[in-house]
Chain A
Amino acid sequence: MPVDETLSRFSDWSYNTATLIYVLAMVFFAVEQAFGRVGRLRAERTAAKQPELVGASADGSVDTPRSDSAEPPLSPAARRSTSRAARFGRMGVSLTVLGALLHLAALVLRGLAVSRVPWGNMYEYTMAVCLIAVVTWLVVLRKYPSVRHLSVFVLLPVVILLFVGGTMLYATAAPVQPALQSYWLVIHVSAAIVASGMFLVPGVASLLYLIRDAHDSDSSRFAKLAGHLPGRDVLDRLSYRTTVLAFPIYTFGVLCGAVWAEAAWGRFWGWDPKETVAFVAWVVYAAYLHARATAGWRGRPAAWINVTGFAMIVFNLFFINLVTTGLHSYAGVG
């Protein structure tokens, strides 16, 4: 399996360009955030009326009725600033889409360069997780366009991860060792990537929830930031709905990991550090789902748990790969 240097170079180029474009998109979203206050207030109001994001809560309480009342009229000046801000937001989305396409190209080219799935080391893995996070966010935007102004908060961790990946974790294109040559690499790792990438969105939304919540109980806290955030219920549902999709995928990923471990290491579960933290993250997300169905645990505690869950996912990626050694040490770093 020779490595195609040219393709690999193109892949690196796409990667760097995608990162830059995300940064640019962030600037546009930031402009929307900053100048679109009026428009955002309106967006918030629409969000509150959108049945999709209001819905019932997990305990089965009733959907709030759809209200058809017309929006309060905006002054002409406000409307102009609103529409200008919205234009920036839409341009931000277009840029994000472009970035995602280049991002995808980087991943595909990497795969072609090494003639295998492009997630054999930590650099490639991080790249793929970020791509899923961006795609998940774009899907969310399609369904609930009113949360577009939050894009900057989703892109920020993505850009940080891509930067860390491209500098500290970068690994030259190479084949993988025999232990990774299995179709389980395709199944197990892609499930882990999809779930981890999706979990980023509820992680961010829950963090924003906590900020909003802190502001709501004491308006002097996060005064600048929280004014730009939608209501807590919107953030809570955003996290819940994404988590509910990602959690079964994560479970599937862990399950496939166990099946693979049985074939590769001689046992399906051995409390290897990576397995352990995957288990912990799984239990934390299960706790999140339970918390949302338990009186006194909804809202802030649940949001904390969701943030903890994502922290465990990140911890599993970085700490376990870089600091401890275990059977999962395929990071290819250093």
Chain B
Amino acid sequence: MTSDQQVTPEAEKEPYRATRARRVLGFVRNTWRGLTSMRTALILLFLLALAAMPGAMLPQRSLNEPKVQQYIAEHGWWGELLDDLGFFAVYGSVWFSAIYLLLMISLVGCLVPRSGEYVRSMRARPVLTPRNLSRLPHHASRTVTSDADDVLAAARSRLKGWRSAERDEGDGVRSISAEKGYLRETGNLVFHFALLGLIIAFAIGKLYTYEGQSIVHADGSQFCNSGIYAYDSFNPGLRVDGTQLSPFCVKVNDFQPTYTAAGQPLQYRADIEYSSGADLATNTWRPYELEVNEPLRTAGDRVYLLGHGFAPVFTVSFPNGEKRTQATQWRPADQTTLLSNGATKFDPPGITDPVKRRNNQLAVTGLFAPTPVFQGKILSSAGPRLTDPTVAVDVMKGDLGIDSGYGQSIFAIDRSQVEKGALERVARENLRVGESITLNDGTKISFDGVNRWVSLQVSHDPTQVWVLGFAVAMLVGLALSLLVKRRRVWVRVAHDGEGRTVVEVGGLARTDQAGYGDEFDEIAADLLNQDTRSP
């Protein structure tokens, strides 16, 4: 099937007076033809490949916003120009969308006529037998003793499964034309339609998808998918406002990593319980072992185990006898050794005067090492295993700036408060579990132990099953369209005038495929060795 749909300059054939309407019509028609020609499709395919590349070479907002900022900062006007042109969000940019929209139009324009042609070719009878079979690339003939009817009958049964037509060519000459491999064209259309379906399903999915991350302590703490506020970060699709998230809750009971002797992780597993749908009303919880590669699928959403870390537990005993215990997650600074940093912040209890309270806030900040090694007094970690949890902390006292109205990171203190002199370091110490620091005013800070936390990701994408279905259809269509051979065979029988039958077989592979020769030789051998009567 040749598909060069080149624009033939029709205007030359039929000179007509160019009225305005005609000109517009001609323009539209030529544009449409141009857009749906193979040549254009090819160029668009190239543009698509080319346009996708910057997304692999430049940092992308959707993957790593800080890196984008850094890139822009490092490259000055060039970085800003790239930013203005959408190079840090390639796959949502106007130019990328334009290319694939044009490609889709081109695809539709290509598919509509081809579908019609396909239906017609499926209905058509195999083509007439060529006059001279010996000029075909595959040809064989023999004079046999069998009757012409017997030969034809044998040919008919040998060519079962082929689409065939029998014709009487007069003078006792009869022929069969047979064709096979229609699945190639079918596969090709399936592939292209599935491609169209995939793109559309993908685009719809982008509207209704959402994805959010949340850190949950592995001590029986809960996460409920009840609204955006439940997340630490949340990326909604254009049509998601966060009011109608799929309702479910997850409770993280334990998290157990296993490591090799060298500290290489072997397995991460979180023991969780979940409750969704009707279970929510009855407060029924079902257990699940959440692992990397084994997301929890419930209520149309998926819950993934994304990462993990530590939350050191500190207890502050205030001079007035009150105690406060807190375990805030610290973030891993090094993914292999899990050396972590963070800031655990305390409000002094029992102080009603807001100014006084504010000036007596405490923060325990610094480093946490699950397996400590010291270089002098500097703490670092030798591995991710929790062997001898140790912290190296600065205790800061003063105004943390929490009440300033600006949000602040839970992993760090506001450095500007230190620079302003509102926050002051009052102690620096390395602590093992059970050890403590006593400040000048009698406040005691003890390091009691460590909790683990996991970071969970919730993902929702209502069309991903459709995308998968179309992708599988594409694959099947593709394999058929590339591997099935479209081939023809013709058989012609005639009397030789001496009571014998001349059988001629010709074959033609319509597609560029190796191996038809063997099949043809077999068929020919079967048809030509039809000597029922001995000579």
Contacts from A to B (Cβ < 8 Å): 1, 51-53, 55-60, 62-66, 143, 174-175, 177-179, 181-182, 184, 237, 240-241, 244-245, 247-248, 251-252, 255, 258-260, 262-274, 276-277, 279-280, 283-284, 286-287, 289-291, 293-297, 320, 324, 326
In the bound complex, do residue B512 and residue A240 qualify as a contact, i.e. CB atoms below 8 Å apart?
yes
Task: Establish whether residues A56 and B510, one from each chain, have CB atoms under 8 Å apart when the complex forms.
Answer: yes
**Please, which residue of chain A has its CB at the minimum distance from the CB of B209?**
A267
Q: How far is the CA of A108 from the CA of B486 in the complex (A)?
A: 40
In residues 18-72 of chain B, which contact A (Cβ within 8 Å)?
A: 38-39, 41-42, 45-46, 48-49, 52-53, 55-57, 60, 62-63
Q: Do residues A181 and B260 form an inter-chain contact, with CB atoms below 8 A? A: no
Interface residues as binary, B174-203 with A (CB distance below 8 Å gives 1, 0 otherwise): 000000000000000000000000000010
Cβ-defined contact, A271 with B479, below 8 A? no
Could you write out 19 A-B pairs with CB less than 8 Å apart? A55-B513, A56-B509, A60-B512, A178-B267, A179-B293, A181-B292, A248-B482, A248-B483, A251-B475, A252-B475, A263-B294, A264-B292, A266-B302, A266-B304, A266-B306, A271-B62, A271-B90, A289-B482, A293-B2
B471 touches A276 (CB 8 A): no
> Within 8 Å CB of A56, what residues of B?
509-512
Alpha-carbon distance A32/B62, docked complex (angstroms): 55
* CB–CB A324/B57 < 8 A: yes
Partner of B42, one of A181, A184, A270, A290: A290
Q: Which of A175, A177, A178, A263 counts the most chain B CB atoms within 10 A?
A: A178
Asked if B116 is an interface residue, CB under 8 A from chain A, the answer is: no
Residue numbers in B under 8 Å from A65 (CB-CB): 135-137
A254 (CB) vs chain B CBs: closest residue: B471
Chain B residue nearest in CB terms to A174: B264
Q: Which chain A residue has the least Cβ–Cβ distance from B297?
A: A263
Q: Is the CB of B291 within 8 A of A178?
A: yes
Contact A264 B1 (CB under 8 A): no
B242 is an interface residue with CB less than 8 A from chain A: no
Closest-CB distance, A62 to chain B (whole angstroms)? 6
Which of B46, B91, B264, B304 makes the CB contact (< 8 A) with A287?
Answer: B46
Minimum CB distance partner of A289 in chain B:
B482
Q: How far is the CA of A245 from the CA of B509 in the complex (A)?
A: 18
Q: A280-B52, A291-B42, A297-B42 are in contact. Are A251 and B266 (CB under 8 A)?
A: no
Bound state CA distance, A63 and B138, in angstroms? 9
Which residue of the partner chain B has the closest CB to A296?
A: B39
Q: Which of B436-482 contact A (CB under 8 A)?
A: 457, 459, 461, 464, 467-468, 471-472, 474-475, 478-479, 482
Cα-based distance from A282 to B295 in the complex (angstroms):
29
- Report chain A residues within 8 Å CB of B515: 52
Residues of A within 8 A of B511 (CB): 56, 58, 60
Closest to A284 in B: B49
**CB <8 Å contact, B461 and A263:** no
Given the complex, which residues of A lie within 8 Å of B46, measured CB to CB? 284, 287
* In the complex, chain A residues whose CB is within 8 Å of the CB of B42: 287, 290-291, 294, 297
**Structural contact, A248 and B475, CB atoms closer than 8 A:** yes
Pick the contact of B53 from A179, A260, A276 — CB < 8 Å?
Answer: A276
Closest 8 CB pairs of A and B: A63-B137, A276-B56, A273-B56, A283-B49, A182-B293, A287-B45, A178-B292, A266-B459
**Cβ contact within 8 Å between B264 and A255:** no
Other A-B contacts than A63-B516, A277-B56, 12 sampled, CB-CB below 8 A, are A51-B137, A55-B513, A58-B511, A63-B138, A248-B482, A266-B306, A267-B211, A271-B91, A273-B55, A274-B56, A280-B56, A294-B3
B4's partner among A177, A237, A295, A320 (CB-CB below 8 A) is: A295
| B313 adjacent to chain A (CB < 8 Å) | no
Query: Closest Cβ of chain A: how far from B533's Cβ, in Å?
Result: 31
Q: Does B124 contact A (CB under 8 A)?
A: no
Separation of A295 and B7 alpha carbons in the complex (Å): 12
Given A259-B468, A266-B306, A266-B457, residue A60 in contact with residue B510 (CB < 8 A): yes
- Closest CB-CB distance, A288 to chain B, in whole Å? 10
CA distance A63 to B520 in the complex (A): 13
Asked if A247 and B38 make an inter-chain contact with CB atoms under 8 angstroms apart, the answer reads: no
Contact of B479 among A248, A296, A324 (CB under 8 A): A248
Could you tell me if B482 and A244 are in contact, using CB atoms closer than 8 angstroms?
A: yes
Instruction: List, in ascending order, chain B residues with CB within 8 A of A175's CB.
Output: 260, 264, 266
- Which of A271, A279, A295 is in CB contact (< 8 Å) with B63? A271
User: How many A-B Cβ pairs are below 8 Å?
Assistant: 171
Question: Smallest distance from the beta carbon of A70 to chain B beta carbons, Å?
Answer: 19
Q: Give the CA-CA distance A51 to B138 in the complex, in Å.
A: 10
Q: Does B52 lie within 8 Å of A1, measured CB to CB?
A: no
B233 CB-CB contact with A under 8 Å: no
Q: Do B514 and A143 touch across chains, with their CB atoms under 8 A apart?
A: yes
Nearest chain B CB to A182 CB, angstrom units: 4
Residues of B within 8 A of A263 (CB): 293-295
Cα–Cα, bound, A271→B93 (Å): 13
Chain B neighbourhood of A324, CB < 8 A: 56-57
B220 on the A face (CB < 8 A): no
Is B268's beta carbon under 8 Å from chain A?
A: yes
B373 to A: closest C-beta gap in Å: 22
Cβ of A230 to closest chain B Cβ, rounded Å: 16
Contact A283 B48 (CB under 8 A): yes
Chain A proximity of B210: nearest CB distance (Å): 11
Q: Does B6 count as interface, using CB distance less than 8 angstroms?
A: yes
Tell me which of B39, B53, B474 contacts A280 (CB under 8 A). B53
Q: How many angstroms from the CA of A295 to the CA of B37 in the assembled complex?
A: 11
Minimum CB–CB distance for B313 against chain A, Å: 26
Contacts of A52 in B (CB 8 A): 514-515, 517
Is there contact, CB below 8 Å, between B482 and A268?
Answer: no
Residue of A nearest to B261 (CB): A2
Q: Is the CB of B45 within 8 A of A290?
A: yes
Most buried by B among A251, A271, A274: A271
What residue in chain B is nearest A326 (Cβ atoms)? B63
- A115 smallest CB distance to B (angstroms): 12
B-side contacts of A264, CB under 8 Å: 292-293
From A240, A255, A287, A320, residue with most partner B Cβ within 10 Å:
A287
What residues on B are CB-neighbors of A255 within 8 Å?
471-472, 475
Nearest-neighbour CB distance to chain B for A215, whole angstroms, equals 24
Query: What is the chain A residue whose CB lies nearest that of B134?
Result: A65
Query: Which residue from chain B places its CB closest to the CB of A268 in the assembled complex?
Result: B464
Distance in Å: Cβ of A267 to nearest Cβ of chain B: 6
Contact B471 A181 (CB under 8 A): no
> How far, in angstroms, from A241 to B42 measured CA to CA in the complex?
20
Q: Given A248-B479, A290-B45, A293-B38, A60 and B514 touching (CB < 8 A)?
A: no
Asked if B523 is an interface residue, CB under 8 A from chain A, the answer is: no
Instruction: Given A182-B293, A251-B474, decide whether A267 and B461 contact each other with a Cβ distance below 8 A.
Output: yes
Cβ–Cβ contact B459 & A287, under 8 A: no
Does B508 make an interface contact (CB < 8 A)? yes
Chain A positions within 8 Å of B300 at CB level: none
- Inter-chain contacts of A287 with B (CB < 8 A): 42, 45-46, 49
